Structure 1
Amino acid sequence: MHDEAAYPPGPWRLRGDLLVSVLRVPPHRVAGLDAALPAGHRPLTVRGHGFVGIAMVRYAPTGMLTYDELLVAVLTHERHVPRVTIPQIWVTSPASRAGGRVLWGIPKELASFAWAGGSQVRVEARDDDGAGIARLTARVGQRLVPGRVAVPLPTAQRRPDASTVRAHNTVTGTLRRLAVRWDLPPEGPLGHLHGLRPIASAAVVDASIVFGRRVEES
């Protein structure tokens, strides 16, 4: 054991709902990206802007772990092979924090989450000191496509010892419209995204997530 909390071995099979937005951001503006990006990997850019996902996730008791999560993910590539690199992420579970760091090099930190509302969801995430990280107001709408959609989500992370860990992951769920408002305090850890408008948003509901089906380290 390499961390303070016990965690299940990979792959993790989780269930939950994801509220996701995509932003266009110059990569140099993304906090923590240099430390998280493995050697040989680069942000995928168009006209100097990269693509950054920000998501609130609630993992259900029907999966291996139950917790809440807020993450920032950057679309990257290794010799034109697309991947995702996560420079910032917060969770409510010490087991998820420990496992994410040890198994896949994902720099998880602990935070608290407050969820409220019915048809209109309101979520607030705060760090261990009680400072605000993000507030989300969201309304999930009608189905975007028939049936369930499977999305590959391969991650590539740089560990503190500069080694690289790649994990092959999949998210499968029902894709629905999402109307969102993100409030990111400019003085907080997501202040580098403050004021940016999403170019697209969607909810993935009743999702099945398989994380770490195959792991490669170098």
Structure 2
Amino acid sequence: MPTYPPEPWHLAGQMFLSLWVVPRRRLPVLPDAVKPLTVAGRAVIGGAWVVYERDSVLHYNELLTAVLVRDGLRPRVTITDIWVDSEQSRDGGRRLWGIPKDMARFDITRGARITFAASERTPLASAAFHVRHRLPGRWPASYQVCQDLDGRLKTSPVRSRSTLRLARGGWEIPARSAVPLPARPPTVSLALEDFTLTFGAGESARSPRLSS
């Protein structure tokens, strides 16, 4: 029997997000059925540290990278690499949605500056965020995540709401790290404070099998 919750997962917590604009050739591998969303040969890749807490169906920490893609003409997001410190999250993410979660150990310090570090056998990444100006209101977001699940494209809805703050994010990616982010400062960083998020739907949504 599965030891993880069924979808959708209702989650809440804190997210610290950075975005980079990179040449298409620098992107990690994507599912065959999607293409990167590019302008003048450049694409957007993001890195995020997430603390799932409060009313979340599971409590855990996470480091992920994702790329802005398109499914036909429809904009989507694909998670390319992700690490968590919960076996339930790892197993559920892989089996429900095809999200390639691996295990890692996290060190997090909260204060005026929020610091993160994640490692498996060797260090993965570390980051420090200085939270700055708060944008008024609670900001909704709705998008679709596309992943390769057993040779098919699984498209999952995500709905969230959060308080947004501008932030200054500094990342350190060791040379041998598996984290596919640029070794330079991000283009923009944000803090999504006290977010609520629903990931997935009650029914699976799949397209025809991906080509081999």
TM-score under structure 2 normalisation? 0.92
User: SS at the partner of 1:213?
Assistant: coil
The residue number in structure 2 matching 1:118 is 111
User: SS at the partner of 2:205?
Assistant: strand
Q: Which moved more, 1:21-30 or 1:199-208?
A: 21-30
User: SS at the partner of 2:91?
Assistant: helix
Q: Specify every segment of 5 or more residues in structure 2 that has no aligned partner in the other structure, as ranges.
A: 208-212
1:196 maps to 2:180: no
The residue number in structure 2 matching 1:164 is 153
Match of 1:17 among 14, 34, 44: 14
User: SS at the partner of 2:89?
Assistant: helix
Tell me if structure 1 keeps the 8 A contact 2:20–2:182: no
TM-score under structure 1 normalisation? 0.90
1:216 maps to 2:205: yes
Q: CA deviation at 1:153?
A: 2.9
Q: 1:75 to 1:211 in 2, by over 3 A?
A: same
Structure 2 CA distance for aligned equivalents of residues 153 and 196 of structure 1? 28
Identical aligned residues as a percent? 37
Structure 2 CA distance for aligned equivalents of residues 28 and 7 of structure 1? 36
Q: CA deviation at 1:47?
A: 1.4
User: SS at the partner of 2:25?
Assistant: helix
Tell me if structure 1 keeps the 8 A contact 2:18–2:46: yes
Structure 2 CA distance for aligned equivalents of residues 38 and 7 of structure 1? 28
Aligned CA RMSD, in angstroms, stands at 1.4
Q: CA deviation at 1:117?
A: 3.8
Structure 2 CA distance for aligned equivalents of residues 165 and 158 of structure 1? 6
The residue number in structure 2 matching 1:62 is 55
Q: Specify every segment of 5 or more residues in structure 1 that has no aligned partner in the other structure, as ranges.
A: none
Tell me if structure 1 keeps the 8 A contact 2:47–2:181: no
CA offset digits 1:45-86 (Å, max 9, x no partner): 111111011000000042111000000010000111010001
Given residue 129 of structure 2, which amino acid in structure 1 is its aligned partner?
A: A
Q: CA deviation at 1:193?
A: 2.3
Structure 1 CA distance for aligned equivalents of residues 201 and 134 of structure 2? 28
Structure 2 CA distance for aligned equivalents of residues 175 and 117 of structure 1? 18
Structure 1 CA distance for aligned equivalents of residues 16 and 60 of structure 2? 15
Q: CA deviation at 1:121?
A: 1.0
Given residue 200 of structure 2, which amino acid in structure 1 is its aligned partner?
A: G
The residue number in structure 2 matching 1:152 is 142
Q: Equivalent residues in 2 for 1:21-100 (5 A)?
A: 21-31=18-28, 33-34=29-30, 37-39=31-33, 41-100=34-93
Matched residues, number: 206
Q: CA deviation at 1:196?
A: 2.7
Tell me if structure 2 keeps the 8 A contact 1:15–1:61: yes
Q: CA deviation at 1:42?
A: 0.5
- Structure 1 residue runs of 4 or more that deviate by more than 6 Å after TM superposition: none
Q: CA deviation at 1:38?
A: 4.1
User: SS at the partner of 1:46?
Assistant: coil
Tell me if structure 2 keeps the 8 A contact 1:185–1:194: no
CA offset digits 1:82-129 (Å, max 9, x no partner): 1000110001110000111111110000101001141111110011x2
CA offset digits 1:4-45 (Å, max 9, x no partner): x610000000001000011112233233x23xx142x10001
Tell me if structure 1 keeps the 8 A contact 2:118–2:125: yes
